[in-house]
Amino acid sequence: MRIGEYEGRAATAADDELYLQTGAGETPETLCPQSEIALLRELGIGKPSIEAAARKAERYGTSIESELLSSGLVTESSYYAALARLLRLPYVERIGDNLIKDSARLDQQLLRPSIVRLNHSRKALTVIVPEARKVSHLRRLLAQLPELRDAIAIASPSTVRGAVWTAGAARRVRDAVNSLFERQPRFSARVVFSGKQGFYAGISCSLLVAALATSGLALLTLHIAISSLYLAALLLRIRAVTFRRQRTTPMPAADDGELPVYTVLVACYREAEVAAQLVKTLKRLNWPPSRLDIKLVCEADDHETIDAFRAQGLGNHFEIVEVPAMKPRTKPKALSYALAGARGRYVAVYDAEDRPHPDQLREAHARFCAAPEDVACLQAPLIIANGRESWISALFSLEYSALFRALLPMLARNRMPLPLGGTSNHFRKDVLIANGAWDPFNVTEDADLGMRLFRLGYRSEVISRQTLEDAPVTLRVWTGQRTRWFKGWLQTWLVLMRDPGGLRREMGTRAFLIFHLLIGGMLISSLAHPLMFAFVVQAAVAMLEAPAVGIPLRDRVLFVIDFVNLFGSYATFLVLGMAAMIEHEKRQIGWRWAAVPIYWLMVSFAAWRAVLELRTNPFFWHKTPHRPSAQLGAKPS
């Protein structure tokens, strides 16, 4: 970015020369490793450290300077302060607020901090982030134009990025909240019901209540409709049971020199308790730190979490992004805000309590390289590590096993839409940005994004390297989390069904039906579960009281269907979950699988609570509290 773009003035020849030095002009002379080594020695860095960094730079295709800084052998502040002393230029430790004029172009400095213009009351000052391999060029420039010494200062990349985040905070948070709604309103859940949806929903509910109050036939019709939908959703899960899962061998990773920058986003709110665990886990990722861009995305007023992260001695590849307070205060809004500064070609999303397999990024990168361009997202399996802790976490473990290691692989193999999990998603960044990223108003942003990408012509696939998570262990926490999930699935269904005909054309008839079974079928089966239970009990009592020859065929058929729906759901839940588990996981569950009927009634309660909350508080985010886990390792499944 050229000097003067912030104020719109014409760039001078000196400005052009300075711009060349800070990142645009790369000549063989300025990129010579020998000149970089000579400068580092001049700064007093020892030969062994330089040689170790040089070996890494050659291996990863980076610079010696970046490897030194990412290794922690040299701190960023001390290095750039020393560089300023060597060049006899001022060193800026902190850039005050309101000294940088905001513009959309300013975001480029988040990706590659190089030069910003400060607007002081007395004089303008240009702050640069020089690169070691180009300092010789800067020295010649200062020798030719000594008056530049009064107009130039040096700062570290973190200092420039921090000032740029602050300068553009109001604009970025507005964009994070409003961009999808303003540019692609048909994908936004900001309006819960569209005009037509509200009208038809009101008419349908009124007619249904009137019909049920006046006609026994209406009740029978409703019974048949619910049972049929329930059975269709059950058949999809049965298909997953019979699906032949092929154990996939992770693809060979690319050579280190071919690895691009990879961004990892972790949205954290009130997560001070797990800050140390999260940082330790992310440092275990098998990816060169110099090619890693980890952003810990925190609410700006969550000082406890921010302070906890700062106390961890974060490396150069970590950055704390503070999201200004603005409703809705949701995870997708925070992720969209941080995406403006994502430097990677690929973006991975994790939760604060996650422990991803160290090689997960390697596998995702290898899969992206081998996959066609229409594969926009990869989902890693989520495995519950605390299944032994309570009966709720045990059944949650079964549920996750069935979803991430059985149902999603089947859908991916058949090129169907995937309702993504909220974590361990890996995206092509350019596709993510071009298609609106996350909807800040959808409280189950993962499922929404998976469906949106599919309708726009992209696919999601699965990988094998897992992420360990801890499930809720108390009823209160579990209910809050599940209510949010159901509310988001309702939002997703309503958004996609604003134009059913257009959706069918975009998805294709087969995928359109699968979508209804995945989202609509799950909602119907959860909401109707108490009714199914009542249908079975009522029919059983009636048949016991009536003579066998007096039971109508219709009632017998419905009883069989309802019985299969009810107990078939329990059976597929257990079979799908158990089949994908290793023996260690099965031992953790023990006999607690017997509580499945109670668990399903809990699911139904959360679904009904979500329906009510969608009307009264649609964008409220039920925060799931996390605590450190004893299961830090990510054992292969």
What is the CATH classification number for the domain harbouring 330?
A: 3.90.550.10
Residues 533 and 408 reside in one and the same domain: yes
630: confidence class by pLDDT, cuts 50, 70, 90: low
Q: Is 135 exposed, middle or buried (0-12, 13-18, 19+ CB in 10 A)?
A: buried
Does any domain span residue 94?
yes
SS3 467: strand
Q: Are 592 and 394 in contact (CB under 8 A)?
A: yes
Residues 279 and 393 reside in one and the same domain: yes
Q: Are 588 and 383 in contact (CB under 8 A)?
A: no
Final residue of a structural domain among 102, 134, 167: 167
Q: Does pLDDT of 13 surpass 80?
A: no
Does any domain span residue 4?
no
pLDDT at position 550 is: 62
Does any domain span residue 310?
yes
pLDDT at position 7 is: 33
> Regarding beta strands 262-268 and 459-462, do their DSSP bridges make them parallel or antiparallel, or are they unpaired?
unpaired
Lowest mean pLDDT among 49-53, 256-260, 480-484, 486-490: 256-260
Q: Are 391 and 596 in contact (CB under 8 A)?
A: no
Residues 492 and 479 reside in one and the same domain: yes
- Looking at residue 286, its amino acid is N
Residues 118 and 247 reside in one and the same domain: no
Tens-digit pLDDT profile for residues 53-86: 999 999 998 999 999 999 888 899 999 999 999 9
Residues 150 and 179 reside in one and the same domain: no
636: confidence class by pLDDT, cuts 50, 70, 90: very low
Residues 244 and 293 reside in one and the same domain: yes
Q: Does pLDDT of 14 surpass 70?
A: no
Q: Does pLDDT of 29 surpass 50?
A: no
Work out the average pLDDT over 412-416. 93
Q: Are 394 and 507 in contact (CB under 8 A)?
A: no
Does any domain span residue 318?
yes
Which residue, 474, 359, 492, is CA-closest to 422? 492
Does any domain span residue 8?
no
Residues 228 and 110 reside in one and the same domain: no
Final residue of a structural domain among 133, 167, 201: 167
Alpha helices in 340-444 (DSSP H): 360-370, 391-402, 408-413, 429-434
For residue 263, which phi and psi values (nearest 5 degrees)?
-95, 135
Work out the average pLDDT over 595-623. 92
Q: Are 346 and 260 in contact (CB under 8 A)?
A: yes
CA max distance for the chain: 108
CB-based contacts of 195, cutoff 8 Å, min separation 6: none
Q: Does pLDDT of 420 surpass 70?
A: yes
- Looking at residue 579, its amino acid is A
Residues 67 and 182 reside in one and the same domain: no
Report the distance separating Cα 280 and Cα 264, nearest Å. Answer: 14
Residues 113 and 181 reside in one and the same domain: no
pLDDT at position 387 is: 92
Residues 379 and 495 reside in one and the same domain: yes
Q: Does pLDDT of 8 surpass 60?
A: no
Q: What is the domain count for the chain?
A: 2
Work out the average pLDDT over 156-170. 95
Residue with the bigger pLDDT between 501 and 637: it is 501
Q: Are 585 and 393 in contact (CB under 8 A)?
A: no
Q: Are 622 and 484 in contact (CB under 8 A)?
A: yes
Does any domain span residue 3?
no
Q: Are 329 and 621 in contact (CB under 8 A)?
A: yes
201 Cα distance to chain centroid: 32
- Looking at residue 588, its amino acid is Q
Domain with 23, as residue range(s), is 13-167
Report the distance separating Cα 399 and Cα 468, nearest Å. Answer: 14
Report the distance separating Cα 355 and Cα 94, nearest Å. Answer: 34
Strands annotated E in 300-371:
318-323, 346-350, 355-356
Residues 467 and 604 reside in one and the same domain: yes
What are 85's two structure tokens?
């002393």
Residues 51 and 126 reside in one and the same domain: yes
Does any domain span residue 30?
yes
Final residue of a structural domain among 167, 190, 209: 167
Work out the average pLDDT over 119-131. 82
Q: Are 132 and 36 in contact (CB under 8 A)?
A: yes
Does any domain span residue 419?
yes
